[in-house]
Structure 1
């Protein structure tokens, strides 16, 4: 089994299962623009290969992904906001529209766009250590990656609003009970369970699985494109605003932010 590494991603293909592992452990698997672009390229390119029948996304070490790498924003937003949003949106749309199922194997933190990636997956399995956090509000931003629809579609408006407006952390057990993820597995059982599910899907009827996924997505997320467009317009505005710069500076400085708007 060949292992490729690129832009903080570890990529393996074996027996129809494409495994993509976030591997920036020194940054708790936070994704910078290069990593996000590489992930988008992978999901819109190699994952469309007929030899790929399942995609598994995981995080190396102690976290799934803590979201966007805000350390690069210490001196301001850095990249063009529309480029940042286009890159993230491309990943989410790819996960939702791939003809093969996508499984998220979540341990530790899944925050920001990291949480959105897990929510967009067709199946998400988590260790007891996992938690999900829409941390955007803490740095003067709004949910993106389709999470403004993905979360309330799964757990309802009230709990989604609590997560989004208060930045409430949702533990793995609560996420499973609310229907946001499929199941919680013991730490020493998670990897083997995901491997077994992936192997089963890889042996399954490819076209039937594709049409089933498409039907379920259409029935539950018919307005995902509208949600992504709203998020994009709002986030582009917020990424250029003073509150975002203050939020990032406060986070990196270990202090409470002082928002002005």
Structure 2
């Protein structure tokens, strides 16, 4: 059995919140094949967990994630890329389909695949002083792990092209100004702020939150009639949950609803 020090991904569960920590601190958490597969396997398991209410992505040590492991690519670029991307892409797809909202807690550096994975979160909280760089173009390649899908949706096409095609490093202030992150906080306050926010989300109507996060993303690609139909289907599914009657009863009683997430 691997010790904690040997595991490329740490998983902690508490109060319905799953915290996934990228754990190759000596390599600034650069994602290699074992880490990619561990992330895929963790999300396979979480996608079947009905008690899941929120997911937090973070990195151990000095940064969130420095990108893909270049040693994997240098040995055999074609095969190395295939070995990394197959599990990472499945992980991203499973992350997108969760009902539970996803928070990225970012510090130090988020670059390359690390920035791509960060962008898959619904909410991004960053520490002051964090550096961001999509980085791929500096290596002579295009982006992967869903960055070309997520980045224009978060900051708009023009800024996304600039971030992707120039390969410049952004400061935490740049990231906040562009809307790349939701909040920038002093490093000493980041953990507590994310913990509090995760608990707030975990107390929400998880099924409804899941429909909300998927509707918002899909709405950028559908016509209005298609989106109206999708909303109606999703609302119907929410109406079958225990949470909607709880929310209505709490509204009439002028109380805070106590949602169960199902």
TM-score by length of 1: 0.78
CA deviation map 1:75-113 (0-9, x unaligned): 332735433322221122122211110110000111111
Partner secondary structure for residue 77 of structure 2: coil
Tell me the number of residue pairs that the alignment of Structure 1 and Structure 2 aligns: 220
Distance 1:211 1:4, change over 3 A: farther
CA distance, structure 2, for counterparts of residue 217 and residue 44 of structure 1? 21
What is the 5 A alignment of 1:72-83?
Answer: 72-77=72-77, 79-83=79-83
The question of whether the paired residues in 1 share the 8 Å contact of 2:73 and 2:80 is answered with no
Which stretches of structure 1, 4 residues or more, deviate above 4 A after TM superposition? 3-6
- Residue 258 (structure 2) aligns with: none
How far did 1:221 drift?
6.4
Counterpart for residue 237 of structure 1: none
Q: Deviations over 1:125-179 (max 9, x none)?
A: 0001212211111212101111112112222222222221121112222212211
- RMSD, aligned α-carbons: 2.0
Consecutive unaligned residues of structure 1, counting only runs of 5 or more, are 223-261
Q: How does 1:172-211 map to 2 (within 5 A)?
A: 172-211=172-211
TM-score by length of 2: 0.78
Matches within 5 A, 1:49-198: 49-77=49-77, 79-198=79-198
Q: Which ranges of structure 2 fall in alignment gaps of 5 or more residues?
A: 223-262
CA distance in 2, matches of 1:201, 1:169: 31
Structure 2 distance, partners of 1:214, 1:78, is 32
Distance of 2:42 and 2:31 partners within structure 1: 15
2:119 is paired with a residue whose SS is: helix
Report which of the two structures shows the higher radius of gyration computed on alpha carbons: 2
Q: Compared with structure 1, are the counterparts of its residues 171 and 206 closer, same or farther at alpha carbon in structure 2 (3 Å cutoff)?
A: same
Assess if the C-alpha contact under 8 Å between 1:65 and 1:110 holds in 2: yes
User: CA shift at 1:214, angstroms?
Assistant: 1.7
**Secondary structure, in 3 states, of the residue corresponding to 1:92?**
helix
Distance 1:24 1:83, change over 3 A: closer
CA contact (8 A) 1:88 1:113 kept: no
Greater RCO, 1 or 2 (C-alpha within 8 Å, sep 6+)? 1
Q: Which moved more, 1:79-88 or 1:195-204?
A: 79-88
